[in-house]
Amino acid sequence: MRTFSTSDLSRKSGDIIASALQGPIAISQRGKPRLVVLSVEQYEALRQSQPDRRVSGATADMPADLAEDVAQAIDGLTTRKCI
């Protein structure tokens, strides 16, 4: 994967776009990779190859002891003071 720095974004935007159309590229900041840029086609292919495995549920559907733990955790978050 080719890497460009954040300062390259203003100086070489055309090169960066051309490279991203050929394959994913990394954008680094202070020598560390921070972003990946890829074409819409590559992004859509990536999204379709990884099914969404998230699930949702209600506390009413949980075992009672687990639902109680979740309720206590939520109460702890809402009553905690931020400093």
- Residue 61 confidence (pLDDT): 87
Please, which pLDDT band fits residue 83 given cuts at 50, 70 and 90?
Answer: low
Render pLDDT for 8-51 as a digit per residue (tens, 0 to 9). 988 999 999 999 999 999 999 999 999 999 999 999 998 888 88
38: nearest Cα among 29, 27, 48, 28: 27
- Residue 21 confidence (pLDDT): 95
Q: Are strands 32-37 and 25-29 parallel, antiparallel or unpaired?
A: antiparallel
Render pLDDT for 54-80 as a digit per residue (tens, 0 to 9). 888 887 888 988 888 888 888 877 665
